[in-house]
Structure 1
Amino acid sequence: MAIKEDRELMTQLAHSTNILRELTDNESLKLKNVLLKMLNDILSLCNKHNIDIILVGGSALGAIRHNGFIPWDDDLDLGLSRADYTKFIKLIESGALGSKYEFTYPNNKTDSKNLFLKIFLKGSKNVEITDITSPFPKGIFVDIFPIDYALPPGWKNKIKGFISNIWAYLSVSVLFYQYPNKEYENFMCSNNESAKRFRIRKLLGKLGSIIPHRLWAYHYDSFIQHKKTDFLTIPSGRKHYSGETLNANIFFPSKKAVFEGIQVNVPNNIDAYLKNLYGHYMDIPPIEKRERHYVIDFMVND
């Protein structure tokens, strides 16, 4: 899948150019401390309103394998059932999370940085290369993914998964075209393979820009939703729609775990969930296969 390959290519480019930089150990520690404070605020709001929020992706892996952050990783991924996701968004739109945060998510009124909810801490910086010219917040962020009912595994699921992946790819292409960014273009054109992919994205973005990115994201979010079934998926997750389609009881009801000393919820059958994402998830990957995050600018107030 092109989206997965693009992520891997970005990681390769980050190692081979000096446009991006890794956080220092001290910066990474500061970032993780901020993320834990954000997590506590989010958990407090969810507990108050009976919202079952769970760790997903690398954060779920970190909770089980490391009892916290994966040592070389520094982000935070959370998931909500679609019903709780909608409820949570209504709460934060009403100001329930407080004035120190801002957020973006797919809707038909405002543009969104991603195809899922992101919560940003005001007054901080964690600037990714794709964000330099965009109007979106550029602070330290937490990702919150909707967990949607899905078609049962089979050809219908694969067709919907294929369409959702193409839709997501086109949406991101339009986003890049809508907010042109010379630094990102230079980065992507630093080798022939990535330059070719960038030119394809730019062409698709131009063709698709007849529809604003805001509507691409909004209608994608509508498309991935489905009536109740015995299966759930995280369509915008690591393995996308079909790759993350699992029996609903693997996700919910959630179970308790500990993350950096904080009691959190994780998928009910965490073993099956992590095996689906990572295979032998307790094995520590070699250094060259460890996913890192690279930034243009970083700042957090002490």
Structure 2
Amino acid sequence: MDEETIRKLQNKMLEMLLYFDEFCKENRLKYYLCGGGLIGVIRHKGFIPWDDDIDLFMPRSDYERLSEIWDKKADTSRYMYCRTDLTHIYHDAGASIRDINTTEINRHSIHEDICHGIALEIMPIDGCPKSRISRGFQLFYAFTFNLFNAQRLPDNKGGLVRFASGVLLEVFKSPKVRYRIWKRAERKMSKYRWDDCSEVTELVGSIKGMLLRHPKEDFENVVYKDFEGYPIPVMAGYDRYLRLIWGDYMQLPPVEKRVAKHDAVCVDLERSYVEYRGKYYCANN
């Protein structure tokens, strides 16, 4: 995507974020910017110029409640709540809110008959047990969940991880078996209640993020920061979190790394993804 297309995409995602922000306020749901959006709000007071997505965190209880109320209370003529289940595979382990009147088809999903609209990506924050043994089991279940829920080889995780993941996916090919595996793993990894823990952790996403533990107070409260001219919530401990993940996050990356991270085969801000069925996704070739 060229700079003009990325900026138009960012404007559409901002529109979606503002709707989501209002929905969360009305329904008393807590969320915060994370990923590149969090760096953007601190370093650029908006989008990183080359960023092509918005990632959000929600405490597990809010994350699950969102799935329960979205279809009842949201404008589903515009936005769809999406999350992998037995019959819909999004190849991302989190949830998303997608604009059904737009198109962004990622290469890893071209065979799936799912919603391919522009997305806000949402990931849960879970309670983290103190015991090393319990934490070890939690990480085991988290790795299992991410692999069998996403059902694709992980990106940028190294050759050994990709090889081992490929072997496991080859052994467990049945969609029903994979579904049972990741559903059980999800229950096991998320069983530690937020209120009972002094630390929290992200169990969906990067391996580096999964291995980190964070003081609960960093995520218990939010502060509002200027994002493209609008006050958007971030976790109170955003500085400590960003330094753990990226180090000196205020330093711009090398020029060659200032690129959009998604591998999209089709982006259309004016037409719904359903118009591209059989051409860019679910096509015979």
TM-score normalised to structure 2 length: 0.82
Query: Match for 2:230: what amino acid?
Result: I
Correspondent of 2:229 among 261, 279, 288: 261
1:91 aligns with 2:69: yes
Query: Bigger shift: 282-291 or 261-270?
Result: 282-291
What CA deviation, in whole Å up to 9, does each residue of 1:51-103 have, x standing for no partner? 12111122111111111111111100111111111222112132424321123
1:128 aligns with 2:106: yes
**Closer/same/farther in 2, CA of residues 82 and 167 from structure 1, 3 Å limit:** closer
Matches within 5 A, 1:165-176: 165-172=143-150, 175-176=151-152
Aligned to 1:220: 185
1:152 aligns with 2:121: no
- Structure 1 runs not aligned, ≥5 long: 1-22, 178-187
Correspondent of 1:287 among 249, 252, 255: 255
What is the CA-CA distance between 1:176 and the residue it aligns to?
4.3
Query: Bigger shift: 213-222 or 120-129?
Result: 213-222
**Closer/same/farther in 2, CA of residues 280 and 231 from structure 1, 3 Å limit:** same
SS in 2 for 1:79: strand
Q: Distance in 2 between matches of 1:165 and 1:291?
A: 28
RMSD of aligned C-alpha atoms?
2.6
What is the CA-CA distance between 1:290 and the residue it aligns to?
4.0
What is the CA-CA distance between 1:119 and the residue it aligns to?
1.3
Aligned to 2:206: 238
Q: Distance in 2 between matches of 1:50 and 1:197?
A: 39
Query: Contact between 1:106 and 1:221, CA under 8 Å: does it hold in 2?
Result: no
- Structure 2 runs not aligned, ≥5 long: 272-285
Q: Distance in 2 between matches of 1:110 and 1:94?
A: 21
Q: Distance in 1 between matches of 2:265 and 2:172?
A: 28
What is the CA-CA distance between 1:154 and the residue it aligns to?
3.9
Query: Contact between 1:57 and 1:237, CA under 8 Å: does it hold in 2?
Result: no
**Closer/same/farther in 2, CA of residues 199 and 268 from structure 1, 3 Å limit:** closer
Q: Distance in 2 between matches of 1:198 and 1:148?
A: 26
Q: Distance in 2 between matches of 1:220 and 1:241?
A: 18
**Closer/same/farther in 2, CA of residues 236 and 120 from structure 1, 3 Å limit:** same
SS in 2 for 1:296: strand
Query: Contact between 2:148 and 2:182, CA under 8 Å: does it hold in 1?
Result: no
SS in 2 for 1:94: helix
Query: Contact between 1:68 and 1:259, CA under 8 Å: does it hold in 2?
Result: yes
Q: Distance in 1 between matches of 2:29 and 2:133?
A: 33
The percent of aligned pairs where both chains have the same amino acid is 23
Q: Distance in 2 between matches of 1:52 and 1:63?
A: 18
1:210 aligns with 2:174: yes
TM-score normalised to structure 1 length: 0.77
**Closer/same/farther in 2, CA of residues 56 and 155 from structure 1, 3 Å limit:** same
Query: Match for 1:164: what amino acid?
Result: A
What is the CA-CA distance between 1:157 and the residue it aligns to?
2.0
What is the CA-CA distance between 1:166 and the residue it aligns to?
4.0
What CA deviation, in whole Å up to 9, does each residue of 1:98-142 have, x standing for no partner? 3211232255x6534122111111121111111111122111111
What CA deviation, in whole Å up to 9, does each residue of 1:225-244 have, x standing for no partner? 11331111111133456433
What is the CA-CA distance between 1:216 and the residue it aligns to?
3.9
Aligned to 1:277: 245
